[in-house]
A and B are shown apart, each in its own frame.
Chain A
């Protein structure tokens, strides 16, 4: 079973990646000017108090010692406690990350729903009016910064027409989806633009392939030709891009959550940066990094499934 050994191989390749991320995160967090004690006590704190708190937190020890304590705990699954919020980082992440995850998945779905059919139409009507309109519209979406798109959508759909809530997060699942729709759409627009452009080019490329002529010469129905011969081959390159863009999507979620006041991991990340909350910052970065790595893995599996020449 070549696909199975392929997955195992890719999983093993993830281990060095995660170790690398662990080191980089640890170092970067400590390279930020300031420390948790100063952040907590404010500008007029006395040096003695700052030093006492840093000592309590073990932050006065050499970096290498701190790192091994940190690494030891991470390996056992313990991400420590938040300095500011006094609760375990694991419970904070368990609370907030699913919100971001849902937001990301939702915007990915919206992006796919928007881009795949429109890419098809644009490719089929290449250089015609429909193609220009579709590409032009997406170009506008792509050119505007995420937070700006968010504010426009917020003003029009939430404030003006009151179709969607201005912000926040619901309690039941349908309510949550309802609250997350606008932020997800905000994120999806630029993502869809990137996907659409890539897929359109890819479809045009595949349409000229000789196997499409052969499929026509076989007298296949056009639906079969479109899906099994054109779309399936065109998706191979787009899936790679999709995976890579998911990482960007997590980054965009940070901004979008702030604009729409969604209590997700993005907001938590920003708060923990301001508070120099090292454990939360580290825990979140690692979780997001592992998530992105897993997305790459899923992308690779998907690609191997789409293109049997990859998994060997």
Chain B
């Protein structure tokens, strides 16, 4: 983690997030599924970090593991350090105060993440009840203020309305207002724009960046959309089959991917303003998490693969400055290949 990615206007006293060796497994009838393995990453105060990957790459599981939302039969090991405390080993009541109070989370689909039978105002206020001493009137005021912050018109009326009375974009704004009620220092966002149409997507991302600045908050943004990463994140980590395969600043990774999977992802993004060519895709499908290939999990789909890739799993090594890392035996060859952007 370097200071260059942190906006200078933000206070440096806020604690950061350190994830070390985070591993999440599920006992299934077909064996142990390793949904996230040995995940290491940091989030500096005020920083926006993107976790990118296909479905099943472990990005959402990582986010849920940080928040300890993994249920039986899932198991989480490793360390998640927040302000010097380890969330993985934290007692329930202490964890409850961190959740929602210091670390908040928003989900992909607000229609299912909001309680359908409670008015939006009540869903904001119960968050305040759980973490503050505000009285009824103050809670109502704070709820109104939050509705204004996230840009919901006619907040007084809308506080008494139910989720089904909101449009998709407004519902996502409402969920953000609920999550941010107690001014958390870290927001975990699980594909917050995937369920929205493109114009609304843009508004919500702008809102998140605006809130990051306004509330001096860090954000971990899970997405499969590289366009979203390019538009919002300072740094990114690419995940494949439960592991981080490449990480670095967004500019560095986009300019010169060091992992063939990242290269494949970047190649499969449609771009405007170019002559129309066939869209590139990555051959094959992601591996079965209960039966990962030996060596590098990506080797069956990789055009750079050699003998060593079949036998030895490449470690996530430093490949440059600014915390640039990649897990590929042939990262130099990948970096030297002809640019795809």
- Interface positions of A (Cβ within 8 A of B): 209-211, 213-221, 224, 228-229, 232-233, 236, 306-309
Contact A216–B99 (Cβ < 8 Å)? yes
- CA distance in complex: A269, B253 (Å): 83
Extra A-B contacts (5), CB below 8 Å, given A213-B64, A219-B101 = A210-B107, A211-B113, A218-B99, A307-B116, A308-B117
Say yes or no: B96 contacts A210, CB within 8 Å. Answer: no
Contact check, A220 vs B100: say whether CB atoms are below 8 A apart: yes
Q: Within B167-190, which residues are at the interface with A (CB < 8 Å)?
A: 175, 178-179
Q: A218-B130, A221-B130 are in contact. Are A306 and B99 (CB under 8 A)?
A: no
Chain B residue numbers with a CB within 8 Å of A232 are 117
Across-interface contacts of B104 in A (CB, < 8 A): 217-218
In the complex, the answer to whether A219 meets B179 with C-beta atoms within 8 Å is no
Q: Does the CB pair A220–B162 fall under 8 Å? A: no
Number of A-B contacts (CB under 8 A): 79
| C-alpha gap A216/B100 in the complex (Å) | 8
Output the least CB separation between A202 and chain B (Å): 13
Least CB distance, A234 to chain B, in whole angstroms: 11
Chain B positions near chain A (C-beta within 8 angstroms):
64, 67, 69, 96-101, 104-105, 107, 109, 112-119, 126-127, 129-131, 162, 164, 175, 178-179
Q: Are A218 and B178 in contact (CB under 8 A)?
A: yes
Name B117's contact: one of A210, A217, A218, A306 (CB within 8 Å): A306
**A307 lies within 8 A of B117 (CB):** yes
In the complex, the chain B residue whose C-beta lies closest to that of A306 is B117
Question: How many Å from the CB of B110 to the closest CB on chain A?
Answer: 9
B65 to chain A, nearest CB (A): 12
Contact B127 A213 (CB under 8 A): no
Which residue of the partner chain B has the closest CB to A211?
B115
- 10 shortest interchain CB distances as A-B pairs: A219-B100, A219-B99, A218-B100, A217-B105, A210-B112, A211-B115, A214-B113, A210-B113, A219-B96, A308-B162
> Residues of B contacting A224 with CB < 8 Å?
126, 129-130
Known contacts A211-B113, A211-B115, A229-B115, A218 near B127 by CB under 8 Å:
yes
For A229, what are the chain B residues with a Cβ–Cβ distance below 8 Å? Answer: 115
The minimal Cβ–Cβ distance linking A203 to chain B, given in whole angstroms, is 15
> Which residue of the partner chain, among B99, B117, B127, contacts A233 with CB atoms under 8 Å?
B117
Closest-by-CB residue of B relative to A209 is: B112
With a cutoff of 8 Å between Cβ atoms, the chain B residues found around residue A216 in the complex are: 69, 99
Min CB distance, A77 to chain B, in Å? 40
Cβ of B167 to closest chain A Cβ, rounded Å: 16
Q: Which of A213, A236, A308 contacts B107 (CB 8 A)?
A: A213
Whole-angstrom CA separation of A218 from B113 in the bound complex: 11
* Most chain B CB atoms below 10 A, which of A214, A216, A232: A214
Question: What residue of chain B has the Cβ atom nearest to residue A235's Cβ?
Answer: B117
- Expressed in whole angstroms, the minimum distance between the Cβ of A83 and any Cβ of chain B is 52
Q: A214–B112 Cα gap in the complex (Å)?
A: 10
